Structure 1
Amino acid sequence: MDISEEKKNEYFKTVNENIKTKGFHTTAVLEDVDFTPFAYSTGIFENFEIPELIISGLGPNFSGELIENYVEKYKFNKVPINTKIENLTDRFPIFFIEVENENLVENVLSSIKFYENREYKYLQLIFPDLNLYFPTNPNYDYDQKIFGEFKI
């Protein structure tokens, strides 16, 4: 087994261990030149009966905090879609939008491996720019990749 294969196996061992102990794992993909960072969950759909969550454009620590808040607030409940949420974080309001799994094939590899042929769903957390404009506003100015359809 080569080093990269060994690292992959170690990584997926960590993913599975976090899902077993905490109920989910958060994967963060860091910013790079011409690349928007993102983070996503794996295990939430199976363990808490709510969709997995992907967040584009925020750093790993804050994304992780938002995913944890999401789980605590909505586990085993209905998640409001296309509705402004004022209390997931005290920093700004957010929206959740539905995302087709096919739109995330390049992004959510841990979830694809974890769920294999089992069903899972994703939502995307949409947040405003520094002026509190959302992506539907013509003055919106932030690097956030939208994977689903956002309309308010």
Structure 2
Amino acid sequence: MTDEQIREYFEKVDKNINESGYHLTNVFATAETPSFCYSTGIFKSFNIPEIFISSLPPGLCSEIIENYVEAFKESKEAKRNQRLDFLTERFPVYLIDVPVPSLKEYVLSSIKIYGDEEYKYLQVIYPDTKGNFPNDAGYDYDQEIMGEFNN
């Protein structure tokens, strides 16, 4: 990217944070990494952790993150390590804590926006097509788990 493209991109990030409270970044899969999506601005705007999602399509990521913000922005406390049936109607999910340093190669927009400020991330953990979660017998999906998941 050119310096001008980078400047324009971060203007868009700032605009989205100012208008809706957050920006979503979708990154497509490469030979080395699966696709992923992450939020920037949720922690600053709503005082709840940012969200990281591995290997789901952008539209579904947007749905989950939008529902997450709506569900927890008033209480300021996201439920962790609990089966949640309301972030998408398609399947239940779990939210787990992820140390920000574990995401340093992924959440570049957040690193730039937050700088030295403190912020937190949760990862959305979801089942495979048979309803099995990681740690269940027969789990079969390429979701990259960045924190500790214990269901």
TM interval, short-chain normalised: over 0.9
Query: What is aligned with 2:56?
Result: 58
Query: What is aligned with 2:109?
Result: 110
User: In the TM superposition, what is the alpha-carbon distance from 1:9 to its structure 2 partner?
Assistant: 1.1
Query: What is aligned with 2:27?
Result: 29
RMSD: 1.1
1:93-142 deviation per Cα after TM superposition (whole angstroms, max 9, x unaligned): 00000000010000000001111111100000000000000011131111
CA contact (8 A) 2:36 2:54 kept: yes
**SS of corresponding position for 1:97:** strand
Q: Does 1:17 align with 2:15?
A: yes
Structural mapping, 1:1-150, within 5 Å: 4-77=2-75, 78-150=77-149
Q: Which structure 2 segments of 5+ residues have no match?
A: none
Q: Which amino acid in the other structure matches residue 136 of structure 1? A: N
1:16-50 deviation per Cα after TM superposition (whole angstroms, max 9, x unaligned): 11001110000000123343100000000011110
Compute the TM-score of the two structures, normalised by the length of structure 1. Answer: 0.95
CA contact (8 A) 2:92 2:127 kept: yes
Q: Which amino acid in the other structure matches residue 112 of structure 1? A: I
Q: Which structure 1 segments of 5+ residues have no match?
A: none
Provide the C-alpha distance between the structure 1 equivalents of 2:138 and 2:62, rounded to a whole number of angstroms: 28
CA contact (8 A) 1:50 1:76 kept: no
CA contact (8 A) 2:63 2:87 kept: no
**SS of corresponding position for 1:21:** helix
1:63-101 deviation per Cα after TM superposition (whole angstroms, max 9, x unaligned): 111111110111132111100001211100000000000
Provide the C-alpha distance between the structure 2 equivalents of 1:10 and 1:138, rounded to a whole number of angstroms: 46
Provide the C-alpha distance between the structure 2 equivalents of 1:140 and 1:19, rounded to a whole number of angstroms: 36
Compute the TM-score of the two structures, normalised by the length of structure 2. Answer: 0.95
**SS of corresponding position for 1:40:** strand
**SS of corresponding position for 1:133:** coil
How many residues are aligned here?
Answer: 150
Provide the C-alpha distance between the structure 2 equivalents of 1:73 and 1:67, rounded to a whole number of angstroms: 10
**SS of corresponding position for 2:124:** strand
Provide the C-alpha distance between the structure 1 equivalents of 2:110 and 2:136, rounded to a whole number of angstroms: 32
Q: Which amino acid in the other structure matches residue 76 of structure 1? A: E
Provide the C-alpha distance between the structure 1 equivalents of 2:97 and 2:86, rounded to a whole number of angstroms: 19
Task: Flag as ranges the 4+ runs of structure 1 deviating above 2 A.
Answer: 31-35
Provide the C-alpha distance between the structure 2 equivalents of 1:53 and 1:107, rounded to a whole number of angstroms: 12
